[in-house]
Chain A
Amino acid sequence: MLFSVIGNYSLLLGLFFGLVLLYFSTKNFRNSKLLDTKILSFTFLQFFLVVISFLCLVSSFVVSDFSNETVFNHSHTTKPFFYKIAGTWGNHEGSLLLWLLVLTLFILIFLIRTKNQPVKYRVLTLVFQQIIIIGFFIFLIKTSNPFNHIYPVPSEGLGLNPILQDPALAIHPPILYLGYVGSSIIFSSVLAATTLNIVTKKWASHIKKWVLISWIFLTLGILLGSIWAYYELGWGGFWFWDPVENVSLMPWLALTTLLHCILVLEKKLILTSWVIILSISTFALSMSGTFLVRSGILNSVHTFANDPERGLFILIFLFSLIFLSLFIFFFFHKTSTNNPSSFFWLSKETAIIINNWFMMYFLSVVLIGTIYPIFLDVLSSQKISVGPPFYHKLIIPFLIPFLLIMAIGPKLKWIKSNLDDKIYLITLLIVSILLSILIVKNFSSNFLINTILISGAFYLFFITLRDFFIKGFKNLSQNIAHFGFSLLILSILFNSLFSSEIITNLKVGQTFENTKAKIVFESISQKEAKNYRSIIGNFTVQDSKGKIENLLPELRIYNQPNITTSEADIKTTLLSDKFMVINIVQNQEFFNVRYQVKPFMLWIWISVILISFGGLMSFLKKGYEK
């Protein structure tokens, strides 16, 4: 159909102009002192063509144009309108088009917003970004074209997986991509800055906003993914150390570390090598993520189609970029040995450096855990699984010093500090420890580690809270972000300590009772919706305090594709969530009922929002942190 034709040609034209742009920018780099005006126009044109292509794909989904292979594979006429649109990026080809959209958008914004920067730098950044963009154009057009035709045109599509029909999941990719793909600009600009030897304090101030934007979106994107998993997947968990989740966490860790290095670099000329390496790594990790998840090399929950041919392309593309970066780093980067900035061991710089070291350690744990099974399989044909216990064992003990340093670090001055009049640091520590002992003492499992961990988190919590009340708006963004982090750790810990669950089999009319709750399976009803039929269980649950809650978990039987999903009913309050899910038991008249009480779930989400909010405050601020 028309949309496919226009979409396809826009892509081809986009590639053409992308190449043209690469040519002109290399020419401009060598010749002129001024930015060639053609460059800005072509950058805009390139972006515009990708937008058109993207809109064509959206339109194809909306009108259910099944002559388009992608639409046929992933949509259905009975899908609700909103999800038809979201279906555009809920598949491999469409999501790559989204990658291109963000790549071309960011370079355009970069060129517009960096009018005060040296021309050579801007143009060279464009050159590197274009290499990425052209690579993606070719990848898209050649191996993952969203505008393939099929003939004869089927009358109905194969539908979209119903668990992907959820509002959080619908906006999760665009937000996540603004984060991950946004880090491409950091990658390109650091390569440019390294080549031109301008990785300086001034450059750090300039790039900080870009790092912040990428970081904020990445944080929110990960949050949305977790929220979706919690509300939609029916097992009440929000993080499972699944490869796809790990693959979004790794760039986040690199980016957070980068952010802190930039904060230091803004003030003094140190850690330049780290800034360069981390900027390269963030984007490299984002791309590796794409590779790991879409090539079929890993087994995970995500539903992208697996295709080794695509995997091969990304692998070669990714490693070309890595080797290019390695070359630029080793060839152009000169570590400044003539002006070593010295600082005392008890200083803010040290605290940041130490925590960066810890974050790099966390990154290596996640990275090794995720790719080790691949290595083992190739080298010795053994298949092992690396799951949550591995990550917990290696990360949790190290969180303790990490939290303490996060609390004390900001209190230290740059270069040198003393802790003479900081009695409150000790008192708050004691308060934290006492409080956590009080909370944990009723739970015998892992008493020691839980107490210490909670003390650490409380310490950070109290210190940041105190700073907010005493110091007011000074360093507000850092305070909010660190406070958010302490709240996150506390919420996760309390959630895991105090969650309870009842699993039982019930027929309609039956009751289950124990010391914690009484569950009555009141009735069952059926409902017909646009693209599914549902069975709704009506339960009343009375908790140990006598409070009664009415829960309506649902089973949805979809027609296209033919699968049954379990929709949990979740009653959220500030203090805890009540979560219930039912499942059919083959050949039996009773249902399998799972009821969970999960404290502080809402606080987990709120804390992550606070963390991003801290980032946002920093982004909007003029001048830099003290």
Chain B
Amino acid sequence: MKNKLLPLSITFVFIIIFIIFFKGLQNTNIYTPETKTIYEVPSVSVKLFNSNEIVNTLEIFNSDKFYLLNIWSSWCVPCRQEHPILMELAKNDNINVIGINYKDTKKNAKSFLEELGNPYNKIIFDNKGTNSIEWGAYGVPESFLINKNKVIKKYIGPLTERSIEEIKLFIK
């Protein structure tokens, strides 16, 4: 019996390894970050685009309203695609669209907004990209749905019609 123990246990180990790899194949290998957890709005000092004022993020998101924080830049191609959606959303009274201008120059950013319209209630000027990292962002475009000082949902990549539908459900 002892002679059979080793081969059996080794075979068993390999069967387990096989099962794990099998299951592993079904998961994606691209790390999709936790877009589901809710977290507190980070308290950061930021510079406003238009007035150059320094304010704290908690001051911006202080009321009971819903906010959509959108990270964008003039050199970002998908931002152009999502911009009309933002313009549309800005018309909704239940939500305030706030922008973070990411690693951009004021000149180019202004041209972009002149060309495509300005949906933003306020714009944060993040020319080094460090503010976005405080939010846990990867790059641009990215959007955060915020309410009561908490980030409820994170959208990585350009906003789509589907994401807007979802947002509209939240803000009712």
A–B direct touch in complex (beta carbons closer than 8 A):
yes
Binding site for B on A (CB under 8 A): 291, 295-299, 306, 308, 311-312, 315, 319, 322-323, 326, 330, 374-375, 377-379, 383, 586-587
Cross-chain contact of A311 among B25, B28, B30, B108 (Cβ < 8 A): B25
- CB neighbours (8 Å) of B7 from chain A are 326, 330
Contact with A along B68-105 (1 / 0, CB 8 A): 00000001000000000000000000000000000111
Bound CA span A312–B19, Å: 11
Cross-chain contact of B14 among A312, A326, A379, A587 (Cβ < 8 A): A326
Cross-chain contact of A319 among B6, B14, B26, B103 (Cβ < 8 A): B14
Cross-chain contact of A587 among B23, B26, B108 (Cβ < 8 A): B108
Q: With contacts A326-B7, A330-B7, A587-B103 known, is A299 near B31, CB below 8 A? A: yes
- CB neighbours (8 Å) of A291 from chain B are 21
- CB neighbours (8 Å) of B170 from chain A are none
Bound CA span A251–B27, Å: 26
Bound CA span A319–B13, Å: 12
Nearest-neighbour CB distance to chain A for B8, whole angstroms, equals 9
Q: With contacts A330-B7, A383-B31, A587-B75 known, is A374 near B105, CB below 8 A? A: no
Q: Confirm or deny: B29 has a beta carbon within 8 angstroms of a beta carbon on chain A.
A: yes
B1-52: which have CB < 8 Å to A?
6-7, 10-11, 14, 18, 20-31
- CB neighbours (8 Å) of B23 from chain A are 378
Looking at B14, B26, B27, B31, which has the most chain A CB atoms within 10 Å of its CB?
B27
Looking at B24, B31, B103, which has the most chain A CB atoms within 10 Å of its CB?
B24
Bound CA span A378–B103, Å: 37
Asked whether, in the complex, the Cβ of A378 is within 8 Å of the Cβ of B27, the reply is yes
Asked whether, in the complex, the Cβ of B25 is within 8 Å of the Cβ of A308, the reply is yes
Cross-chain contact of B29 among A306, A319, A322, A326 (Cβ < 8 A): A306
- Residue pairs across A and B with Cβ atoms less than 8 A apart, 26 shown, are A296-B25, A297-B24, A297-B25, A297-B27, A299-B29, A299-B30, A306-B29, A311-B25, A312-B25, A315-B21, A322-B14, A323-B11, A323-B14, A326-B10, A326-B11, A330-B6, A330-B7, A374-B21, A374-B24, A375-B24, A378-B20, A378-B23, A378-B24, A378-B27, A379-B20, A587-B105
- CB neighbours (8 Å) of B21 from chain A are 291, 297, 315, 374
Asked whether, in the complex, the Cβ of B29 is within 8 Å of the Cβ of A298, the reply is yes
Bound CA span A326–B6, Å: 11
Bound CA span A379–B16, Å: 12
Residue of A whose beta carbon sits closest to that of B8: A330
Residue of A whose beta carbon sits closest to that of B22: A315
Bound CA span A315–B11, Å: 16
Asked whether, in the complex, the Cβ of A586 is within 8 Å of the Cβ of B29, the reply is no
- CB neighbours (8 Å) of B31 from chain A are 299, 383
- CB neighbours (8 Å) of A308 from chain B are 25-26
Bound CA span A299–B105, Å: 34
Asked whether, in the complex, the Cβ of A295 is within 8 Å of the Cβ of B14, the reply is no
Nearest-neighbour CB distance to chain B for A307, whole angstroms, equals 10
Bound CA span A296–B25, Å: 7
- CB neighbours (8 Å) of B28 from chain A are 296
Known A375-B20, A378-B27; further 17 A-B contacts with Cβ < 8 A: A291-B21, A295-B25, A297-B24, A299-B31, A312-B25, A319-B14, A319-B18, A323-B14, A326-B10, A374-B20, A374-B21, A377-B24, A377-B27, A378-B20, A378-B23, A379-B20, A383-B31
Residue of B whose beta carbon sits closest to that of A585: B103
- CB neighbours (8 Å) of B20 from chain A are 374-375, 378-379
Bound CA span A319–B22, Å: 11
Q: Closest 7 CB pairs between A and B?
A: A330-B7, A374-B24, A378-B23, A308-B25, A319-B18, A378-B24, A299-B29
Residue of B whose beta carbon sits closest to that of A319: B18
Asked whether, in the complex, the Cβ of A296 is within 8 Å of the Cβ of B14, the reply is no
- CB neighbours (8 Å) of A323 from chain B are 11, 14
- CB neighbours (8 Å) of A378 from chain B are 20, 23-24, 27
- CB neighbours (8 Å) of A315 from chain B are 18, 21-22, 25
- CB neighbours (8 Å) of A319 from chain B are 14, 18
Nearest-neighbour CB distance to chain B for A289, whole angstroms, equals 13
Asked whether, in the complex, the Cβ of B75 is within 8 Å of the Cβ of A586, the reply is yes
Asked whether, in the complex, the Cβ of A586 is within 8 Å of the Cβ of B103, the reply is yes
- CB neighbours (8 Å) of A295 from chain B are 25
- CB neighbours (8 Å) of A383 from chain B are 31
Bound CA span A78–B28, Å: 35
- CB neighbours (8 Å) of A311 from chain B are 25
Residue of B whose beta carbon sits closest to that of A331: B7
Cross-chain contact of A296 among B10, B29, B75, B105 (Cβ < 8 A): B29
Residue of A whose beta carbon sits closest to that of B10: A326
Residue of A whose beta carbon sits closest to that of B11: A326
Residue of A whose beta carbon sits closest to that of B18: A319
Bound CA span A401–B23, Å: 40
- CB neighbours (8 Å) of B25 from chain A are 295-297, 308, 311-312, 315
Looking at B6, B28, B75, B105, which has the most chain A CB atoms within 10 Å of its CB?
B28
- CB neighbours (8 Å) of A377 from chain B are 24, 27
Nearest-neighbour CB distance to chain B for A490, whole angstroms, equals 37
- CB neighbours (8 Å) of A379 from chain B are 20
- CB neighbours (8 Å) of A586 from chain B are 75, 103
Residue of A whose beta carbon sits closest to that of B103: A586
Nearest-neighbour CB distance to chain B for A235, whole angstroms, equals 20
- CB neighbours (8 Å) of B108 from chain A are 587
Residue of B whose beta carbon sits closest to that of A322: B14
Residue of B whose beta carbon sits closest to that of A308: B25
- CB neighbours (8 Å) of B105 from chain A are 587
Bound CA span A89–B76, Å: 35
Nearest-neighbour CB distance to chain A for B79, whole angstroms, equals 13
- CB neighbours (8 Å) of A326 from chain B are 7, 10-11, 14
- CB neighbours (8 Å) of A330 from chain B are 6-7
Bound CA span A586–B11, Å: 55
Nearest-neighbour CB distance to chain B for A201, whole angstroms, equals 26
Bound CA span A383–B24, Å: 12
Bound CA span A217–B138, Å: 41
Residue of A whose beta carbon sits closest to that of B26: A308
Residue of B whose beta carbon sits closest to that of A330: B7
Residue of A whose beta carbon sits closest to that of B23: A378
Bound CA span A184–B63, Å: 68
Nearest-neighbour CB distance to chain A for B110, whole angstroms, equals 13
Bound CA span A299–B28, Å: 10
Residue of B whose beta carbon sits closest to that of A385: B31
Bound CA span A326–B15, Å: 12
Bound CA span A306–B27, Å: 12
- CB neighbours (8 Å) of B26 from chain A are 308
Bound CA span A47–B26, Å: 36
Bound CA span A297–B30, Å: 9
Nearest-neighbour CB distance to chain A for B46, whole angstroms, equals 19
Bound CA span A312–B7, Å: 25
Residue of B whose beta carbon sits closest to that of A377: B27
Residue of B whose beta carbon sits closest to that of A310: B25
Bound CA span A375–B25, Å: 11
- CB neighbours (8 Å) of B18 from chain A are 315, 319
